[in-house]
A = this chain, B = another copy of it.
């Protein structure tokens, strides 16, 4: 694990995304909040927030950070849902991995709740990437999604 003792605390935020492709009627179920296992979007939001806070347990070389904010949003398309995760901290290192982990775990939660409603080959998690990162020495912004 890299040493971050020399890095000053600063405000840092990161936004990441991934996408779940799913059949139209599954997207409809997300919109109505009525899968057989419950309201998938609201469950996935919680799973993503909890995952953001536990990233350093899941990714062995990540530093523990005091997560100041973690939030998930979902954009429903025709045959896909885009999962957007945003995480903020004041710390010595960035929160990219926290945002990426939150997005992926939220997408996996949606997958888990939709899988009784379609065939496995109709579900795919894709387009997982960092959208924006502020704070620290390097700033990064992806303008197009």
Residues of A within 8 A of B (CB): 1-5, 11, 18, 36-39, 42-43, 45-47, 49-51, 53-54, 56-71, 88-92, 96-97, 100-101, 104-105, 107-109, 111-113, 115, 119-121, 123-130, 133, 140, 142
Copies of the polypeptide in the assembly: 6
Choose among B4, B49, B59 the residue that contacts A108 (Cβ–Cβ < 8 A).
B59
Contact A68 B4 (CB under 8 A): yes
Question: Given contacts A36-B2, A68-B4, A71-B1, are A61 and B112 in contact (CB under 8 A)?
Answer: yes
CB of A90 within 8 A of CB of B58, answer no
- Contact status A112-B128, CB under 8 Å: no
With A1-B69, A50-B50, A124-B128 known, 17 other A-B pairs at CB within 8 A are A1-B49, A4-B68, A38-B45, A43-B60, A46-B60, A47-B60, A50-B60, A51-B58, A54-B57, A59-B105, A61-B112, A62-B112, A63-B66, A104-B104, A104-B105, A121-B129, A123-B130
In contact, A97 and B69 (Cβ under 8 angstroms) = no
* Distance (whole angstroms) from the CB of A113 to the closest CB of chain B: 6
